[in-house]
Chain A
Amino acid sequence: NAGVMQNPRHLVRRRGQEARLRCSPMKGHSHVYWYRQLPEEGLKFMVYLQKENIIDESGMPKERFSAEFPKEGPSILRIQQVVRGDSAAYFCASSRSRTGSWNEQFFGPGTRLTVL
């Protein structure tokens, strides 16, 4: 029973390049969340998606960041023209959608992005 999968686990980019982070939710989960953790800081919500829909993007920076969860394939978090301040651990979490029941979020192993 595979958990949440993320790849790559480590990503190094130079300033100005693009970073693409991928997340496949747990089997049976249809909700995906992206969080960012800066060094020595807490987890910060970025975006919540269901298949083909962005439900809540209130934590996403207005520029350079975008996310999608297509009908087929993993969710993608895309960062254009990366800057050093984007260096962080990016975690994906997923949850079920059970009516009338609690739907906890389970996290993937994360992608550590380093911007040189």
Chain B
Amino acid sequence: QKEVEQNSGPLSVPEGAIASLNCTYSDRVSQSFFWYRQYSGKSPELIMSIYSNGDKEDGRFTAQLNKASQYVSLLIRDSQPSDSATYLCAVGLSNFGNEKLTFGTGTRLTIIP
């Protein structure tokens, strides 16, 4: 079983719709969760971090965490063509970071104009 699992996609979503990206993790003691966006040939860019159960909203992005189910998701509202990228889910074990992160292999998202 992979430590952090994501559907590789590609996930195609019409422009203006909601894109939903999912991630599951195997280590129950994980404490910190991150979503990074990576455009082709570029470096990962942090878009959301979440540490507590529930929802966290930032603009068009909402991260959802359910530690009991070992599940974290990212919702992108009003999807734009510029959202087309690979989205990486990353997990850490500690409360405050400063540790290695374990990444999923990423979900490739394509927004269709």
Interface residues of A (CB under 8 A from B): 31, 33, 35, 41-45, 48, 56, 58-59, 91, 95, 97-110
Q: Does B28 interact with chain A (Cβ within 8 Å)?
A: no
Of residues 12 through 33 on chain B, the ones whose CB sits less than 8 Å from some CB of chain A are 32
Q: How far is the CA of A101 from the CA of B98 in the complex (A)?
A: 11
| A23 CB to nearest chain B CB (Å) | 12
Known contacts A42-B88, A42-B104, A42-B105, A104 near B43 by CB under 8 Å = no
Q: How far is the CA of A33 from the CA of B98 in the complex (A)?
A: 9
Residues of chain B within 8 A of A100, CB atoms compared: 96
- A102 contact from B43, B97, B100, B106, Cβ within 8 A: B97
Residues of chain B within 8 A of A110, CB atoms compared: 43
Residues of chain B within 8 A of A98, CB atoms compared: 96
Find out whether the CB atom of A105 lies under 8 angstroms from the CB atom of B97: yes
Known contacts A41-B105, A42-B106, A103 near B96 by CB under 8 Å = yes
Find out whether the CB atom of B88 lies under 8 angstroms from the CB atom of A102: no
Q: How far is the CA of A103 from the CA of B97 in the complex (A)?
A: 5
Of residues 71 through 95 on chain B, the ones whose CB sits less than 8 Å from some CB of chain A are 88, 90
Residues of chain A within 8 A of B105, CB atoms compared: 41-42
Find out whether the CB atom of B98 lies under 8 angstroms from the CB atom of A31: yes
Find out whether the CB atom of B44 lies under 8 angstroms from the CB atom of A97: no
Residue among B96, B98, B103, B106 with the highest chain A CB neighbour number at 10 A: B98
| A99 CB to nearest chain B CB (Å) | 8
